[in-house]
Amino acid sequence: MIVLGIETTCDETAAALVERRDDGRGRILSNIVLSQIEDHAAFGGVVPEIAARAHVEALDVIVGKAVGDAGKSFDDIDGVAAAAGPGLIGGVIVGLTTAKAIALVNDKPLIAVNHLEAHALTARLTDATQFPYLLFLASGGHTQIVAVRGIGDYVRLGTTLDDAIGEAFDKTAKLLGLGYPGGPQVEREAARGDVTRFTLPRPMFGRPDADFSLSGLKTALRLEAEKIAPLSEKDVRDLCAAFQQAICDVIMDRLRAGLKIFRERFGTPSALVAAGGVAANQTIRKILHKLAFEAGTALVVPPPALCTDNGAMIAWAGAERLAHGLVDPLDTAPRARWPLDSVSRPGAKG
């Protein structure tokens, strides 16, 4: 089956066509992503109003290109999927309404996809990863450790009590006068910094749960920076190195706790899967390798273009749900909040 996927929950306007074969394997036929980074850069973060307007302006063209690049027409499509949340509500409304219109006009089923579910299932598109697996999702808006047990069957084992990891990178970059998005900039500076010069806290370290808290780390970094202001280039590099090291140590510790909980409740995971923009960080990838090795499981990290927000992941999640008969009515509401463990699953209501 072939599914069109639309993603508009944050600052990427994206659409894709993905094919799911009867044996469960997937293939991307087209994947078009228009990033709005430049529209938001001057503000140091995503401005919801600007994002929603940009989605309206771009989406029709992006969908047309996705269908055209795949060499298909709407007739060839078996379903229309859109991210119906969680995310910035203005953008979600644009994507979901467009999907409803395409579904209605072409008489195709609508699949309202949870954006986090799409991140969670991407490893099955790229690597045919088998259930159950442990997902580490780290992006600008989310930091979660999730047991992925089946389609629509997710158990959140850990989350952040305050900032998301990507958000912490972005705030650190802003504080140190680096550009937006902050992750890649902090990573670049950290690579040339002295990791031993500053000592920053490792919040939640050693706790048996798998939750994160990053606001204390952010404050500690700000206090260190204020002590030595004005900052030289070396100061910035060293602060970035200390910050990234603290984040890595925290991820290691929190994921160890998550893996332990997973084993106790669900047995051995088939893989440790990383997703979200933060997984593009090379130092973080190294520690994920180490962790997977230590846990005797495989590490699956989809390529960067499929780790960050994209249409293919929405199309794929739509295809996986459609294959199980999960479709949604045309009056499905967009949702700013939508916890992953509340999505519907085959054979169950909810």
Residues that bind ligand KG4 (CB under 6 A): 10, 139-141, 166-167, 169-170, 181-184, 187, 276-278, 280-281, 308-309
Rounded to 5°, the CA angle 219-221-222 comes to 65
Least CB distance to ligand KG4 at residue 161 (A): 18
Q: Which is nearer to ligand KG4, 236 or 280 (CB)?
A: 280
Name which of residues 136 to 155 contact Zn ion (CB under 5 A).
139
Smallest gap, in angstroms, from Cβ of residue 137 to Zn ion?
8
Q: Which does 203 bind (CB under 5 to 8 A by kind): Zn ion, ligand KG4, none?
A: none
d(CA 241, CA 224): 13
Q: Which residue is nearest to Zn ion (CB)?
A: 309
Between residues 35 and 97, which has the closer beta carbon with respect to ligand KG4? 35
Decide the pairing of beta strands 79-85 and 110-114.
parallel
Instruction: Determine the 3-state secondary structure of 173 from DSSP.
Output: helix
What does residue 336 show for φ and ψ, rounded to 5 degrees?
-70, -40
The percent helix, strand, coil of the chain (3-state, each to 5) is: 50, 20, 30
Whether residue 298 contacts residue 24, with contact meaning beta carbons closer than 8 Å, is answered with no
* Residue (74 or 180) nearer to Zn ion, CB: 180
How far apart are CB 37 and ligand KG4 at their closest, in Å?
A: 10
> Nearer Cβ to ligand KG4, position 28 or 326?
28
Provide, rounded to whole angstroms, the least separation between the CB of residue 117 and ligand KG4: 14
**C-beta separation of 29 from 2 below 8 A:** yes
Cis peptide before 181 (omega within 30 of 0): yes
Q: Which of 163, 211, 309, 320 binds Zn ion (CB under 5 A)?
A: 309
C-beta closer to ligand KG4: residue 67 or 186: 186
User: Whose Cβ is closer to ligand KG4: residue 281's or residue 297's?
Assistant: 281
CA distance 77 to 180: 37
Q: How far is the CB of 310 from ligand KG4 (least distance, A)?
A: 9
Give the contacts of 23 (CB within 8 A, at least 6 positions apart): none
Instruction: Catalog residues that contact Zn ion under the rule CB under 5 A.
Output: 139, 309
